[in-house]
Chain A
Amino acid sequence: MKKLALLTALALASAASAQSLSGTVTVWSWDAAAKALESTIPSFNKKYPNVKVNVVDLGNQNVYDRGLAGCAAGGADMPDVYSIENNEAEVFWARFPNCFTDLNTLGADKLAKNFPAFKWTELMAGNKRFAMPWDSGPVVIFYRRDLYQQAGVNANAIKTWDDFIAAGKKVNAKFDGKVKMGVVANGQDDEWFRMLANQNNCFYFDNAGTSVTVNKTGCVDALTTIKKLYDAQVVATGDWGGQITSFKAGRSASAMFGAWYEGTIRTNAPDQKGKWGVYPMPANKAGGVRAANLGGSALALPSSSKNKAAAYAFMENALATTNGQVTMLKSQGLVPSLLSATKDSYVKVAQPYWGNQKVWQTILDTLGDVPQARGTQYFQDARQVMIVVQADYIKGKYKTAKEALDDAAKKISSATGLPVAK
């Protein structure tokens, strides 16, 4: 009886505070992620009818650039809720420890156990929790069933990167080289390298963030594979926009990205419904790991926000409730990092766009195999070096991948001051 009274009191109290929250919450985000956040507004407004949420889609790079500039200017012009990629997050906590609110002061410590522990690594500095985990980016291959079939390729038989290249040769032969197995942003981004390196349990830095490990075996194998893909002419080159143009025009037989790309394909090419499917990324060697992570983001709350309670309530509804996370999975294909949401019944539903494949099951099944990798505060320094070294290696400037990555390690080390790992 006592318990019931207490519960009622609590419910009343929270209902009362829900009514009292008001004002506007401005959210900065990008592309599919922004649309996903928008899709959670109706459920949020059911609980907090007096808060107006305004999601601004600035584009990914702009959010980062303007966020750093805003923090440097002491929090000027910052939104109430700020989207941040896990890999890029630590530079903010390191350079501007006062720019964001410690979410523990708003009750985030109570939610900590609802997310996998690794998602918090890059979002914390000391005991402070500066952002709440949002989605993760388990990497898979998205492929056109019809194009594979016409070329005589069986997606289930592609188990290693060598299989993938062999399949690409068949696709080249069938379509006269006009359709490629993938589009790599070589020269613009090094995301293929990061995905393959992560798969091989290698990254720019070690997981303590204290030394440069980009010339270790796993990374060398990753870069070697990318070179092989180019030498076999099974991939084309193009940036983010070019990749979308390419699959819309039916010139990509497949694409590799974090699972959040699901929404990008589905919303950009609605006419290709039923033609697409998903399979796990090929392994470096037969029997090897077929999982990696690319991207995955979080939401932070700038200290300059004038409406922290409402901003936190919005974050909590979108990220820390099963309903919020599943809404974003349905609308834009953002893979939940909230543990309860990964077990939701929606995950087991066959998806008509994907030829009635249970794609979320396929995607989430890889999550447990993803090796950990840490961006550190020097992520951008390392990335800028790696973009160039990858492009130079593809161009033939280095003899071997090892030579290229030794040079990359040297450059990253001199840019960051971190030693190259022995």
Chain B
Amino acid sequence: MTTVPQPPARPHPVRKAGWWARTPKAPYLFILPYLIIFLTFWAWPILSSFMMSFKDSRLGDTAPFGLANWSRLVQDEFFRTALRNTLVILVIQVPLMLSLATVLAVALNSKLLKAAGWFRFAFFAPLVVGTVAYSAVFRLLFNTDFGMVNRGLTGLGLPAVDWLNQSGPAMTVLILAMTWRWTGYNAIILLAGLQGISEDVYEAASIDGATPWQQFWKITLPLLRPSLLFCLVLSVIGTLQLFTEPALITNSGPGNSTMTLGTYLYQQGFRSFNFGYASAIAYTVAAIAAIFSVVQLRLFGRDE
């Protein structure tokens, strides 16, 4: 039996172990399932739709890359209409809803209120109602000939309004419906914010002789800013993606006077089956939402 001659012992490595050896594997193994799902169902579609926006998908899978969709987007009057309608809703509905929600949250937080839990549920309830059902009810309420709203108006001696067949009134119905649905939701978030404000602050203020009105403006609102900012950012993003209400209540009409970015995207993607163009619209909406969010954080989130 011969012994295999051992190679001379290598000098102890001076270099540290490689990056691979140094990195602990276990944590990555644990998040691997999520990573795989993320890459397959999020990252890939996002990338793929970005690439699709450079193809005229109507020509089939073999369409060459080009800027056809993007140059159409720049000139597209309907896209501008959709953008304008969305911004109108943003500028009118979001502040209206958030002011109402703030008032509601303060009221719900009041110690004078009996059965507070029941009221909180009641104002949150619209969100639990199925969107199709609630849209159908709004369509009925605002029906020109048989709707309750017009019955009420004529009962008061006011003229009936052709709600869903005229631009301005149709937009009004949309804004009312969205406010009905989302005010309670925002009020609950704000209520949580209110409950985070310490009682001591109010106590000190009343000892110093501050009226409730002053307390609201000088204490409640400033301390509520993080919650308000959160609601604002969520509402703005939600409005930019708005789809359900204009699709189900007004069907983007009359004409395209309540067409939003969301319904226009749907129309291009699923009626005309032009996925490439729909992707270009989707990316534009995402970019606008990002810009809005940054601006809001800069403007209202300074010392946070």
- A95 is an interface residue with CB less than 8 A from chain B: yes
- With A and B bound together, what is the CA distance between A95 and B273 in angstroms? 8
Q: Are A188 and B254 interface neighbours, CB within 8 A? A: yes
Q: With CB as the reference atom, state the residue of chain B lying closest to A68.
A: B273
Q: List B contacts of A378 (CB < 8 A).
A: 272
A188 in contact with B251 given A237-B162, A238-B165, A411-B78 (CB within 8 Å) = yes
Q: List A contacts of B251 (CB < 8 A).
A: 188, 239
Q: Indicate which residue in B58, B78, B146 contacts A95 across the interface (CB closer than 8 Å).
A: B58
Q: How many residues of A contact B (CB 8 A)?
A: 35
- With A and B bound together, what is the CA distance between A411 and B75 in angstroms? 10
- Write the nearest CB–CB distance from A277 to chain B, whole angstroms: 25
Q: List B contacts of A19 (CB < 8 A).
A: none
Q: Are A246 and B75 interface neighbours, CB within 8 A? A: no
- With A and B bound together, what is the CA distance between A64 and B267 in angstroms? 12
Q: Are B272 and A391 interface neighbours, CB within 8 A? A: no
Q: List B contacts of A188 (CB < 8 A).
A: 251, 253-254
- A210 is an interface residue with CB less than 8 A from chain B: no
- Write the nearest CB–CB distance from A417 to chain B, whole angstroms: 8
- With A and B bound together, what is the CA distance between A388 and B143 in angstroms? 21
- Write the nearest CB–CB distance from B41 to chain A, whole angstroms: 15
- With A and B bound together, what is the CA distance between A415 and B146 in angstroms? 38
Q: Indicate which residue in B75, B76, B255 contacts A392 across the interface (CB closer than 8 Å).
A: B255
- A403 is an interface residue with CB less than 8 A from chain B: no
Q: Are B272 and A381 interface neighbours, CB within 8 A? A: yes
- B270 is an interface residue with CB less than 8 A from chain A: yes
Q: Are A68 and B270 interface neighbours, CB within 8 A? A: yes
- With A and B bound together, what is the CA distance between A390 and B253 in angstroms? 12
Q: List B contacts of A387 (CB < 8 A).
A: 253, 255-256
Q: Indicate which residue in A94, A411, A417 contacts B77 across the interface (CB closer than 8 Å).
A: A411
Q: Are B270 and A69 interface neighbours, CB within 8 A? A: yes
**Residue contacts A-B, CB under 8 angstroms, 7 given:** A65-B271, A237-B162, A239-B251, A378-B272, A380-B272, A384-B256, A415-B272
Residues of A bordering B, CB below 8 Å: 64-65, 68-69, 72, 91, 94-95, 186-188, 237-239, 242, 245-246, 249, 251, 377-378, 380-381, 384-385, 387-388, 390-392, 395, 411, 414-415, 417
Question: Can you name 10 extra interface pairs (CB under 8 A) apart from A186-B165, A237-B165?
Answer: A68-B273, A94-B58, A95-B60, A239-B251, A249-B145, A387-B253, A411-B78, A414-B75, A415-B272, A417-B68
